Structure 1
C-alpha cells in the first residue's frame, strides 16, 4: 500500500472537516428537510443583522433605488457596447 504524502509545512491541523458532507445524487436531487425550531431562531437573528430586508421603505424610496440600479446597469451595458463597437471598428480598420 502506498504511503501517505507528508509535506514540510503540514502541521496536522484540520482546515475544513469534510466528513459530514454527502455526495449529491445526479439524477434525483434530495433536498434537506427544514428544521422548524432552528430555522425560526435563525430568521429572528437574520432580521436583526440585515437592515436591507426590513420593510421600512416608502414607494418613492423603492422607486429611486430601482432607478439607480437600472441606470447603473444601463451605464455598464453602454460601456460594453462602446467597447465592442471600438473593437469592431479597429478590426475593420486593420484588416483592409
Structure 2
C-alpha cells in the first residue's frame, strides 16, 4: 500500500497517515455477463474502471473526473451497455 499523503509505502494506516492506495484485481460475476476481472480506483475526483471479460477477450476501460452522490454510481451500467453493444454474437 502507498500513502496518498507522502507517496511512500505503508505497512498499515495510522492517524498521521490515514489513506493508502493499493493495486488489486477482483474477479466477480456481473449479472448475465458472467465472470470478469476488474479493477476500480479513485483519487481526488477521478475514477477508473477496467473490466476484462476473459471468455470474449474484451477489455473495457472507463475513466471519469466526477464522483457521484451515494447510490448514484452508474459505471457498471455503462460497462454493461458497452459490453452488450460489442460482444460477439452467440453461436447457434
* TM-score of the pair, normalised by structure 2: 0.20
- Name the larger-Rg structure: 1
Q: TM-score by structure 1 length? A: 0.20
More helix per residue: 1 or 2?
1
Larger strand share, 1 or 2: 2
Could you say which structure has the greater relative contact order, defined with CA pairs below 8 angstroms and 6 or more residues apart? 2
